[in-house]
Structure 1
Amino acid sequence: MSSYDLPSYDPRDLDRDFPYFVYPKIVGGLSLDQNKEFVHDRSQLMILKPENEILAKGKSFDLNIGYDENKTHRIRKVYEQDEYMNYVLRWILANRHRYDESKSQIFGADFLTFRGNFRNIMLTPYEKEGWVLRIQKWKDTIFIAKKKTPENFNDVKSEERNRSSYYGYKFETLLTTTANNSCQNAPEDEPVCEKSAFIGMFVSQIGNFRVQYGAELDGYMDPNAAKDNTIPLQADKFVKIHTSNAIRHPGQERFLRKVKFLHWWANCFLVGTQDVIVGWKDTDGVVRHVQKIPVQECARSALGWKDNVCFNFLLDVLTFLKETIVENSVTKVYRLSWVPDSGLNMEIEAGTEPFLHEWFHSQFKQ
């Protein structure tokens, strides 16, 4: 039992007015090359192909191309600690010149993290999958990183799930291109590029808290932005790309509205994405119909969940962390976890390696 007064995750306690939220703005970005190395540029920014080509009636996409069932396709391999937080830390160092020495917080942020961590918190009132977050405070900024749960470590993907993951990334590569020489531009009969990505850095405000977070992004609708780094990126010009089983019976529609729409909305809302491009695939893994769904429609069609409940829980957790973690430390690590059967818990880790590595805070001070 936690000794902390943790916030309620009961939807009935969270069903109040939607909290104050400032539309997210992109303040920078970074690329991961085909070796998953940090590159401080837009080289992996994926450009969405023309909509009249993507949404053309009768056009199909075979997502099996390049898939080898005898090969383990390691899609976006995640390590024990949050590797994405390391990329965020690298971006902070690359933009150290932006830091205002007269202010205590890093880039004026109360919280600094990756989108997926905020999303996991938001989904908690309705989610059945647990999560673990590691938290540190330094220079009056609270950093939040992900830690894999025991279930994640033992999660060996079945061939079906492995193929499903491959389908998602294959569809993404078929709908996009990059302006630079990239493995994303490989011929369509090649396997998907498993490591390259573009990550945008966003700033926003939730309640009274200024937040900054990175997020992996899909297709961008302005090809000129990939060629000219001086053109500011705009959040509403990104689209999210997904595949889903074609709806064949009422149970699939209920699952779509209850689970998938919830996840799609949470991912998109945090970064200002306005539309989801969905490829409806048949049982053979062939997309027979492509549809553009407004993100607002996901919330309007919600079944068994409310967007205000999700966002109020995120605000309550941020408020709790802000009020509880008062000491700046490069060594002290808090662990906040959610286990559906037992609820929320927070504790101070003992004898663990901080995720704010020595290389980060020592270089930042220089």
Structure 2
Amino acid sequence: MEPKTKYTMELEDDDLYDLSDVDDQFKVKQIAGWYNKDRHGNYCKDEQYAKYLYLPRNMKEVSFDLNQKHEEDVYKPQNEMKESIDSILKWVVENSTDSEGMPKSPDADFVCYRGILYQLMCVPYENKDSLRVCAIKAKGTTYLCQFFTEQNRKDRQAQAENPDMAKFTKWGHKFEHYMVSDEPGKPPDATQPMSEYEELNIVYQSMLGPHTLIYGAEIDGLTKKEDLQDLYQAKLIELKTCRQNANNYSFCRYKLIKWWAQSMLAKIDSIVVGYRNDEGMVKSLEQMRVANIPKMAKGWSAPRCVVFLRDFLSFVKHVMKDATESDVFEFVWYPGESSYSARKLPPGNNCNFLPDWFQSWLVTVPEM
């Protein structure tokens, strides 16, 4: 019979955290590579899917209609909830070789998507969304994948059935269509068809305290053609929309923490914000330096976000120190709870997210 051991990680109050050494806690060591998703969401590596920021001369007065559509537009299903990390795993298989070209385990303690990391950073201040993470340890590396709680599923379904929420999502993608083009310096043509699946993903190798990480993150825009050849030096761009005249406290408390966490993990230089009205018209733009966002924070601390993620990864290592490749561990947190809980799932749990083709590749990787 499987042991029913349950582990917990307490969420401490802000004043109990030692934040003195945070500036040295997180560092992007290198950008290891990139990959794309094509118009239909298929993994590929093609420079044509890279997009370049185009800023209008007058950012204070623009007129972007986010309701504009094309009959060939491709949209993701509103209730799509993928529980996989297949794209970053494909990149790992293609790029993890030794000096003789033989397969080897990736040079990281953890492999995942950025999405898990930034959501974990926000946990100390989250009051709405639960977070469930499943983990598998193989050949010395722990792979992390988000799975959805029942509350997540109910919330996503409610959003899909709410016309306003569906509209806001589409507006965000349409804004990108107005802001980036296929060539540097070329004005975007927002009348052309768009696909919500197309994306450029950059793969990062980072250090967080004692932990090494490899993760993929979608990037909205580059600034010049040479950026793909030297992504570490590139000024990467994130694009966001926001309701104009939004409540300042709410904006600084709830939006900025997520914008900052997403962006700092991906070495984003600046966020271009499109301020829209309730009819979906963007009237003005602002370019916001990511490094300045923590100074605008209300009700949250950037250092604590970083320290919490570091401590969570230490918790995962502790819980899984004796894990085998057949073990799947679950880490769950719900708003209002004072601790993160973890347990090893029983066999037949339907949460083994490593696909057969990746497990076949793992067989060829020497033991650590």
Assess same fold via TM > 0.5. Answer: yes
> Is residue 280 of structure 2 the alignment partner of residue 317 of structure 1?
no
Which of 287, 296, 313 is residue 301 of structure 1 equivalent to? 296
Task: Please identify, of 341-350 and 73-82, the stretch whose mean Cα deviation from structure 2 is larger.
Answer: 73-82
Partner of 1:88: 88
Q: Deviations over 1:193-251 (max 9, x none)?
A: 1211111100110001111111011110113446xxxx222365111100001126xxx
In structure 1, the partner of 2:349 is 352
Shift of 1:297: 2.1
Cα offset, 1:272, TM superposition: 1.1
2:241 aligned to which of 236, 243, 248: 243
The count of corresponding residues between Structure 1 and Structure 2 is 348
* C-alpha contact (below 8 Å) 2:222/2:237 kept by paired residues: yes
| Deviation sequence 1:21-51 (CA, Å, 0-9, x none) | 22353110111111111103433222112x3
2:63 pairs with 1:47: no
Q: CA deviation at 1:169?
A: 0.7
Question: Structure 2: how far apart are the matches of 1:100 and 1:206?
Answer: 30
State the alpha-carbon separation in 1 of the partners of residues 62 and 326 from structure 2. 55
The corresponding residue for 2:43 is: 38
- The answer to whether the 8 Å contact 2:5/2:343 transfers is yes
Where does residue 22 of structure 1 map in the other structure?
27
Offset of residue 359 of structure 1: 1.2
Q: 1:61 pairs with 58, 64, 75, which one?
A: 64
Distance 1:78 1:106, change over 3 A: farther
Q: Using the alignment, how far apart are the partners of 2:114 and 2:99 within structure 1?
A: 22
SS of the residue 2:49 aligns to: coil
Give the conservation status (yes or no) of the 8 Å contact 1:65–1:191: no
The one-letter code of the counterpart of 1:238 is L
Letter in 2 for 1:288: K
Cα distance change, pair 132–112 in 1 and its aligned pair in 2 (3 A): same
Which of residues 10, 14, 19 in structure 2 aligns to 1:11? 14
Q: Which amino acid aligns with 1:74?
A: K
Residues 134, 333 of structure 1: 8 Å contact kept:
yes
Q: Matched residues in 2 for 1:13 and 1:361: separation?
A: 42
Specify the SS of the correspondent of 1:345.
strand
Q: 1:115 to 1:54 in 2, by over 3 A?
A: farther
Aligned to 2:114: 115
The answer for the alignment partner of 2:138 in structure 1 is: 138
Instruction: Give RMSD over aligned pairs.
Output: 2.8
Could you tell me which residue of structure 2 aligns to residue 216 of structure 1?
218
Deviations 1:135-168 (A, max 9, x none): 0111111111111221232222211011111111
Q: Which moved more, 1:239-248 or 1:352-361?
A: 352-361
User: Could you list the runs of 5+ residues in structure 1 that have no partner in the other structure?
Assistant: none
Q: Flag the 1:46–1:309 CA change in 2: closer, same or farther, 3 A.
A: same
How far off is 1:327 after superposition?
3.1
Superposed displacement of residue 101, structure 1: 9.2
TM-score if structure 2 supplies the norm length?
A: 0.86
- Residue of structure 1 equivalent to 2:170: 166
Distance 2:193 2:216 in 1: 27
Q: Distance in 2 between matches of 1:356 and 1:55?
A: 48
* Residues 187/362 of structure 1: CA separation in 2 closer, same or farther (3 Å cut): same
Amino acid at match of 1:65: Q
CA-CA distance at 1:296 after TM superposition? 2.0
SS in 1 for 2:134: strand
* Secondary structure class of the residue paired with 1:219: coil
The answer as to 2:174 corresponding to 1:177 is no
Contact 1:113 1:145 in 2 (8 A): yes
User: Secondary structure of 1:280's partner?
Assistant: strand
Q: Is the 8 A contact 2:30 2:232 kept in 1?
A: yes
Identity %: 22
TM superposition score normalised by structure 1: 0.86
**3-state SS of the aligned residue for 2:200?**
strand
Amino acid at match of 2:353: F
Structure 2, unpaired ranges of 5+: none
Of the three residues 188, 210, 230, the one matched with 2:190 is 188
Deviations 1:296-317 (CA, angstroms, capped at 9, x unpaired): 2211010000001111110111
Letter of the 2:259 counterpart:
W
Q: 1:223 to 1:126 in 2, by over 3 A?
A: same
Contact 2:180 2:221 in 1 (8 A): yes
Q: Secondary structure at the match of 1:74?
A: coil
